[in-house]
Every structure is written in structure tokens, then in C-alpha cells.
Structure 1
Amino acid sequence: MWTQDIDPLDSIALSALVAAIPIVVFLVCLVALRLKGIYAALIALAVEIVIALWVFGMPVTAAGGAGLLGLLTAIWPIAFIIVMAVWLYRLAVASGRFDVIRGSIGGISPDQRIQVLLISFAFGAFLEGAAGFGVPIAICAALLVQLGFRPVKAAMISLVANAAAGAYGAIGIPVIVASQVSGIPVMELSQALVLLLQPLTLLIPFLLVMILDGWKGLRESWPAALVATLVFSGVQGSILWFLGPELADIGAGLATMVAIFVFGRVWQPKHIFREDGGTAPAPTRYSLGQIVAAWSPFYILTAFVAVWSIPAFKALFAPDGALAATVLMFPMPGLTDAVSTAAGNPVTATWNFTPINATGTAILLAVIVSFLVMPTMKVRDLFGQLGKTLAELWQALALIAVILVLANIANFSGGTTSMGVALAAVGPIFPLIAPIIGWIGVFLTGSVVNNNTLFAPLQVATGERIDVSPGLLVAANTAGGNTAKVISPQSIAIAAGAVGLSGREGEILRASILYSLGMLAFICIWNFVLSLLV
């Protein structure tokens, strides 16, 4: 059995720097050399393989198993979820219902700054809470393009807006997983995240308006941004503090959509902003029944995902559940019983194929039910839209697969842990950089859940050594990872595919990276301050 060596160069700092080279290569290829995302990822993957095999001593069989696990995970559940979500969106467009959605939003306000608050901020949070896994980024970015936004701006705004909700996506799973692997009670983590993330969340609506229209836009539309942020943060913070993370995004997103709708009835900016400088199209009036029917795919989506997320449904697929036989687990050759961590714990790496209780299956059922209530759509239209979805997304899905192969090799070689341990070695100032560990984890894996699985135990152990609240550090790991979702390769690929820019991921990354780093810096400083007070 091969044991990971997280310090192969006998200097944890040097080993960590070498482990970070593939990340640097990927960023340089995208930002400086402006290569297509898939080419940048393949180059970074080649570098990662060399470092894992040559520097960290990873056996070829273990690297192959790690890569296979990454590829299979990219297919199921990630690609399945993304394809189903975009298929649902395209079905709504093809049926004409999206015209009603667009018209109903335009009826609330023709001002694109208000539309951003409604769609990317409020509706995006609602979708993040219901489904997660890139669904809100794909749907909101595509919707903004339909409303006349430039593709790069639509993608970037949707990525930044997701920072208000990403920490609690998919019915609070990131926080629940962090609790499970760290031993910190869920409510303690939820309350720590309120203290840590809500100040940033309060600023995001104002930031979105400024991204779109600068200081002038903020002066003209600050009342709407203020209403959105007070309602959103108030509801989200209250749910987190008193109930936990499960409904934090769904409740806040719904409440904010209603608040913007009501506020739009009594107040509008004096100057209507349009990104192209043109005149806003005259809003089409729709009846309440038409609007409800048009939005029905997303209500249906939420209902199915909510059912899939309730404990009673999940219990059916537990090891002793009635449907446990439908959960198929495949140990990865070269990893399971062949690799142990640096601490001497054997690795158990499995790929789970869950055809019934997968989130993508819930979305597939939402597609089917939505189709059945669309009388104008035929079966050939249904599958025609699926074909167009696959043709549109294949480059983005290929990029995600390559990145997950890279991330798994980095994780199982010990490289990711090496970076985390090196950062933890700084002692008393660790709270200042604790969010950076989470940022690295999400950048590599594209998932706050995976990031917490990797690094939450490290945060707890470090907090106990330096006498800082372990709950605060696990929250910092979650919050820092949340800011990385703005530029994680998976998120960028999803956004690019949604707005028709597959192959031009570098443009979106260049537009978004400063916002990710700025939010990370804010979280780092605020976490350090809190560590002195809590």
C-alpha cells in the first residue's frame, strides 16, 4: 500500500509551492496566454500528472484510479445535473413560456439594474437553494442574455451574485457536510456563517449595480438595492440563526423576489438604464394565470428537488433503507485499499451511481412534468431540445471533466493537503489565511461540499492548536470556498456554455477574477477580526 507524502521535498513550504504549480499554470494559460479553457486545463493536467508521479511519488495505478474517479464524477452526477437543468431552461424557451417570464420581469422594471437584482441575486439564490451544482449560474446567465445583456457581462454578474447564496446551496448541503466531517454542530456553523458572511452578503446587491452601471447607477438605483439586501440578508440570516441552513437560500430568494416586485409597484429609477443605451421595449401585459404558468417549470423543479432533499426520502437510500439496493457503489482500482493518507488511514474511494435519488433525476422529472403541461410541445421538440443542449454544452462538460481529473490526482497524491498544511503552519495569524484554504479547495474541485470534505478537519485541528474557535475556522473554510465559485473552472465553464461562449472561458475569468479575490480579501480580514472577538 502506498502512503501519501505531503512533504516530499523536506520543506512543507516548498512542497506546497510545487503542488500549486498546476493552478498557476491554468490561470496563466487562461488569463495571460488567453487559451481556450479546455486547452489550458489539458496543459495544467499534464503538469499535475508530472508533479504527482515525479515529485509526490504517486504510483501510476493510483493516478489512473484518481483520474477515473474524476471522469466518472464529471459524468455522474455533475454533467447529468447540468444537462437536465439547461434542458429544462431550453424547453421553457422553445415553448414560448420564457417570453412570458421575460415580459413579466420587464413589467416589474425595464431598468436592467433592477432586473439584475431580481434575476441574478434573488431568483439565482432561490435556484441555488433548490438545486445548486451550477444550476442558478446557467439559468440566470442565459436569462440575462435573453433580456439583452452582453454575454460576458451576463455570465460575470451571475457568478458574482452567486456568492450571496453559494455557501448554502442545494438545501444547505455544504454546511451539513462540514458539520459531519468536522464534528461541529450544524447550528453552530450556521450561526458562525451569519457572523462571517452576512456583511459581505449585504454589499453584493450594491456591487452588482456598480458592476453594471458604476457609481452613477448606484446613486440612481440604491433604494432598490437597499430593499433587496435588507430583505435578503434579514431572511437568510434569521433562517440560518434560528432554523439552520436548509431553507436559507430558498426563503431569502423568494422573499426578495416578492419584495422587489412590490417595491417596483411604487418606485422606479428616474433614468431607465439599458446596457446598450437603447430604449427599453414596451412591457407586455400578462394575466396572473399566464405568469404562473410561465414560471411553472421552476416551481415544479423546486418541488421535486425539495422532495429529494427531505430526510424521509433520503432515508430510503440509506444502507438499511427500502431502496438501498438502487445505490450502486464502485470502488476505484488503484485507490481503495491501495493508498493511505499521510496519517496512515486507508483510502476508500468509490463512485456512487444513484439513478433514483440523484438531484439530476429530480430535475429530469421536472422536465417531464413541465413538458406534459406544455400543450404546444411535441415529443420530437422535447428530444430536439435535448440534442441542442448536448451540442451547446459538450465543450463545457469536457472542461469540467478535465478539471475534476486534475483535482482528484492533486487530492489523492497529497498535493492538496500539502498546500493546506503549509498555510496552517503560520500559527496565530492562521485565521487571516484560513479562508484561502477554502478558496483553493473550491478552485480545484468546483464544489464547496468537496472543499469542506477535504479541509474542514484540518481547520478544526488547527483551531484547537492555536486556541481559535474551530467552528469559526470551518465557517471560514466554507466562506472562502464560496468566493472561489466566482472563478472556479467548473463555474466558468457552466457560465460560458449557458451564454454561448464555450471556448472563450478566459474572457469571463478575466472579467470576474478581481471580484473573487476582493471578496476573499474581505472574508480573510473580517475572519481575523472575528477570531480576536469570538
Structure 2
Amino acid sequence: MYQQVLDPVSHSLGLSAIFAALPLVVLFVLLGVLRVTAWISALIALVVALVVATVVYPMPIGQAALAATLGAAFGFFPILWIVINAIWIYNMTVDTGHFDVLRRSFSRVSDDQRIQAIIIAFCFGALMEALGGFGTPVAITSVMLIALGFKPLRAATLALVANTAPVAFGALAVPITTLSTVTGLPVHDLGAMVGRQTPILAVVVPLVLVGIVDGRRGLRQTWVPAVVCGVAFGVAQYATSNFISVPLTDIVASLFSAAAVVVLLRVWQPAASSMVMPTVTPVAGGSVDTPDSGFQSRVAHPDSRREELRAYAPYLIIIVIFVVAQIHPILHALDTVTRSFTWPGMHILSTSGKPSTVAVFKFNWLTAAGSLMFISGLVTAPVLGISVGRALRAYGRTLRQLVWAIITVMAVLALAYVMNASGQTATLGNSMAGAGAAFAVLSPILGWLGVAVTGSDTSSNSLFGALQVAAGTKAGLSTTLMAAANSSGGVLGKMISPQNLAIAAGAVGLTGKEGDIFRRVFGWSLAFLAGMCLLVYLQSTPVLSWMIP
């Protein structure tokens, strides 16, 4: 039995926090500064976390090793289980040529890559986040952008930066409901508060995406649809979370923003630009093949309605299956086979002496987003006319394509679980919580840190939600505001999480180049975080306190 300790170094929380931060410092320095391959960086950081847990903290070696195995298992299921099946579906559409049909279809909406980045990375990504979360939008939208002719590094960057504003309400608002569970605050109040923070972020993100694609010229020529998209998404996200339904927030916002852009394009088009869809044919692995010499003629003489429907079918199937699976009677039936159990051999008490939930593994093998994605793939195969043998070969190719991403994600989650189980993460959180009234500025940073470590806003809320409330109460700050800030700040850590970097790199065929992607997105993560910190601080003062429900 191991009981977590917050201040193992001379009973000083500050000194202990320095040691607790070492695994993260090592990870990000190796990844972003020294450009070490992600899976090697993750394994080295894991070793550092194990050393800190067993030498600095009084955690038995056996318990630390078991925590690492639990984290690795969680990394594979449910997280990698989603990504593998999402990329499998994509690879089947590439094999049959239907992704090329989809690409030509998009060209008739707009062949401008700046517009496509808004619609695919932001709007469609938000819909995937709403339905699946846990890496689903990054995996799917990055390969869609590749198929539309984007360079791999840019596609990965766009997918990661876009996966921000929708994250707090992802997977039908699981992060919010989890936050409510650990804090005891009403779901509606938390959803309403987050819905008064992330919509402001949503207004900015489409503009950033346009800037990433085409710089200042893109902003001059395409700011109108970017603003329309961001405002439409923000208004819908605010209205739905505050007045309609917290779980449906991102579904409504993504569809409303996409519709707004499509309607705008019927009456307005950006100035002519060189940022039009190139004539390339996508291949599995996120690269491009030889030029499609018949592409322009196929745009002029479109594919048949039947072929277009089959090209869109995989994504329609995904949406239908995810929505149907959330209908309460069906969800209840699927959940009857879910099993939760304490990881064998792990015996951990929290600092208060109560059994820690860190050691609990939930095997929801039918309701998991990855399982629903796998079912979608099984339905997609016959719709696309793929035989069983061909589908199996595509699955094998997908596993080979993602092998290093799989190792990376499992190592990162092993690192996160060792830090959580030993108390390293709690040490970092508690050290920040002692800042008094200034905690209003640090609150989003704590959520950002939690997501950077775990790759999940849900996990970050589980780790720090109660701590945010306790710190807010102690400092005389709104507990609803502090809890919501953990989730809203957390969404900005997702793009730099090694887990999501590995997913993006594996999807676009840049495995081993995670450091390059990290450097592309790190600045945006910090800039957005600074803005969120300022917003939360102002909401904690009379200037914007009227925004708190």
C-alpha cells in the first residue's frame, strides 16, 4: 500500500514541485529543443518519472511499475483504439479512390485551401470532437487535409490548432460532466461558464487557421468567412451551453458554423489566390502521389451522385452510429457489458487516506469511441465495395503505419500515470494553488498543464477539478469560475500534448517529426493560454464578474 505524499522534499511544496516538474521538462526539452524522436523522448521522460517517484517520493518500485503498465494500457484503450480505427477507415477510402471523389466534391464548394482549412479543420473537426473526442478529430481532419492537397506538416498543424475551442464540450460534454462529478458543482452552471469563455476563443481560431495557410495575404483576402465561421460557432456554443443542452453544444455549434460559411460562399468569394487545391492524388500514410492529370476535367464534369454519396458515406456512417449510440436506452444496453476494476497489484491511497481512483481501469468495450469507430468501419467496408480480405490488409497496413505513434502514446500515458499515482502531478497543482487571489491567473495554466501531461481535458478535470474549487474557496474566488477555467485552459494544452502530437504525426506520415510539429504549435498554445488567463482574471474582478452565472 502506498499513500501519496505532496511534499517529500524537506516537507516543502515548492522544492518538491521542482522535482515533480523534471519529467515534463525533460520531455519538452528533448522533443522541442533537441528534436529527439517522440517515442524516445517519451521513454526517457518515463524513466525520469519512475526515478522521481521511487527516489524522491516514497513510492515502491513495484507500485510505480504497475502504474506505468496501467497508463500504457489506457493509452492503447481507449485512446489509440480510436485513432487506429479512424485511420483504417481513411485508408479504405483511399484504396477505393473515394477520397479523391470527396476532394473533387469539396472543390465545388471552394477550391481555396484557406476556406477548406476552416470547414475541415475547424467545423468538421468540431463535429468529430463532439461525437468522439480523445484524438478523433486530429486523426481524421489531418488526413482529410492531406487528401485535399495540404502538405503534411501544415495539415498536422492545422488539425491541432483547430482542436481547441470545441474540446471542453467534446464527446458529448464528458469533460464537463466529469468536472461536475469531482467538484460537486451543477453541470449546467459549469457548462454555462465554459460557454462564456471558449466562444471568445472560437472567434479567433479560424483567423489563425487562415494565417497558418496563407499568412497576412490570407487574412486580408479571407477574413470575412473566418470571422463568420468563428462568430457563428461562438454564438451557437454560448447559446446551446447556456439555454439548450450542454452535451449537444458542439454538435449544434459545428453544424451552424459550417452552414454559415457555405451560405456565405454562395454570395461571396475571396479574391483569387494561389492557395487553391493542387492536383495531387492522396495515398495512405499522409503523403502525395503523382499529379492527377484528369483532376480539373473531373471537377468540370463531376462524379456521379452515387459515387459522391459513397465518398461521403463513411463520415455520415460515423455521425449516425455515434449519435444513435448516445440514445439513452441504446447507451444503457451497450454499457451493461462495461467493467471497471482496480488494476491488479495496485494499492494506492490519496493524501487524505482514501483509496485513489488512479488505479481504476474502465473497460467500456462497446461504448468506447474507438469501438463505435470500428463498427463504423465494418459498415463502411461493404458500402465502399471492399472485400473482407482487402479490409483486413488495410487494417494491417494501418497498424504498421502507426507503430511508432502507438509506442509514443503508450509511453506518454505511462508517464502521466506514474506522475499521477506517485503524487507528482498533485504536488505541481497544490504548489500553484497557494497563490491566493493571483490564482485566478494561474487557474487556466493548471488545466493547460493537466492536458499537456494526459492529452485529455477529461483527465485534467479529474486531476485538478476539486483542487481548483478548494483553491478558489481559500482565495475567495468563484468556485464555478475556477473549475470552468481548468477546462477552458486545458483545451489549449491539447495541441502540445505528446499524445496528440504522435497521433497527428502518425496520421500524416511524419512519425519521428513530432518535434517539428511541436515547434509549429507551441507558440499558438502559449498565445491562446495568455488570452484565456487574462479573460479568467477579468472575470474574477468586477470588470467581467457579470459573466459568471
Q: Which amino acid aligns with 1:299?
A: L
Structure 1: state its 5+ residue gaps: none
Q: Distance in 1 between matches of 2:79 and 2:382?
A: 26
Distance 1:56 1:275, change over 3 A: farther
Residue 78 of structure 1, CA deviation: 1.5
Deviations, residues 376-434 of structure 1 (Å, cap 9, x unaligned): x2222111110111011111011000011110000010000000000000101101010
- 2:461 is matched with which residue: 441, 452, 462? 452
Contact 1:64/1:334, CA 8 A, preserved across alignment: no
Deviations, residues 330-370 of structure 1 (Å, cap 9, x unaligned): 322342xx221111112242223233222222111111111
- 2:324 is matched with which residue: 299, 304, 307? 307
Is 1:161 the counterpart of 2:162? The answer is yes
Q: Which amino acid aligns with 2:372?
A: A
Partner residue in 1 for 2:367: 357
Is 1:370 the counterpart of 2:380? The answer is yes
Is 1:6 the counterpart of 2:6? The answer is yes
Q: Distance in 1 between matches of 2:483 and 2:114?
A: 34
Residue 236 of structure 1, CA deviation: 1.7
- 2:343 is matched with which residue: 332, 344, 351? 332
Partner residue in 2 for 1:343: 352
- SS at 1:163's partner residue? coil
Contact 1:121/1:164, CA 8 A, preserved across alignment: no
Q: Matches of residues 45-444 of structure 1 in structure 2 within 5 Å?
A: 45-274=46-275, 282=296, 283-284=299-300, 285-286=302-303, 288-316=305-333, 323=336, 326-335=337-346, 338-348=347-357, 349-375=359-385, 377-444=386-453
- Count of aligned positions: 525
Residue 277 of structure 1, CA deviation: 9.1
Deviations, residues 18-73 of structure 1 (Å, cap 9, x unaligned): 10111011111011111100111111111111101000111112112211211111
Q: Matches of residues 508-523 of structure 1 in structure 2 within 5 Å?
A: 508-523=517-532
Distance 1:290 1:252, change over 3 A: farther
Q: Distance in 2 between matches of 1:456 and 1:405?
A: 22
Q: Which amino acid aligns with 1:498?
A: A
Q: Distance in 2 between matches of 1:55 and 1:363?
A: 42
Contact 2:112/2:276, CA 8 A, preserved across alignment: no
Q: Distance in 2 between matches of 1:287 and 1:259?
A: 26
Contact 2:494/2:500, CA 8 A, preserved across alignment: yes
Q: Distance in 2 between matches of 1:402 and 1:278?
A: 38
Residue 276 of structure 1, CA deviation: 9.5
Q: Distance in 1 between matches of 2:274 and 2:227?
A: 18
- 2:488 is matched with which residue: 479, 486, 500? 479
Contact 1:149/1:275, CA 8 A, preserved across alignment: no
- SS at 2:7's partner residue? coil
Deviations, residues 465-510 of structure 1 (Å, cap 9, x unaligned): 1121111111110011100001101110000001000111101001
Structure 2: state its 5+ residue gaps: 281-291
Is 1:21 the counterpart of 2:22? The answer is yes
Is 1:462 the counterpart of 2:471? The answer is yes
Greater shift after overlay, 119-128 or 298-307? 298-307
Contact 2:102/2:311, CA 8 A, preserved across alignment: yes
Q: Distance in 1 between matches of 2:421 and 2:366?
A: 29
Q: Which amino acid aligns with 1:99?
A: D
Greater shift after overlay, 224-233 or 106-115? 224-233
Q: Which amino acid aligns with 2:441?
A: L
- SS at 2:495's partner residue? coil
Contact 1:8/1:55, CA 8 A, preserved across alignment: yes
- SS at 1:216's partner residue? helix
Greater shift after overlay, 167-176 or 280-289? 280-289
Residue 76 of structure 1, CA deviation: 1.5
Distance 1:451 1:126, change over 3 A: same
What is the aligned-residue identity percentage?
38
Q: Which amino acid aligns with 1:528?
A: Y
- SS at 2:163's partner residue? helix
Contact 2:310/2:384, CA 8 A, preserved across alignment: no
Q: Distance in 1 between matches of 2:197 and 2:260?
A: 25
Contact 2:450/2:460, CA 8 A, preserved across alignment: yes
- SS at 1:528's partner residue? helix
Q: Which amino acid aligns with 2:379?
A: V
Contact 2:148/2:277, CA 8 A, preserved across alignment: no
Q: Distance in 1 between matches of 2:305 and 2:168?
A: 33
Greater shift after overlay, 259-268 or 66-75? 259-268
Q: Distance in 2 between matches of 1:425 and 1:492?
A: 32
Q: Distance in 1 between matches of 2:237 and 2:196?
A: 12
TM-score calculated relative to the size of structure 1: 0.95
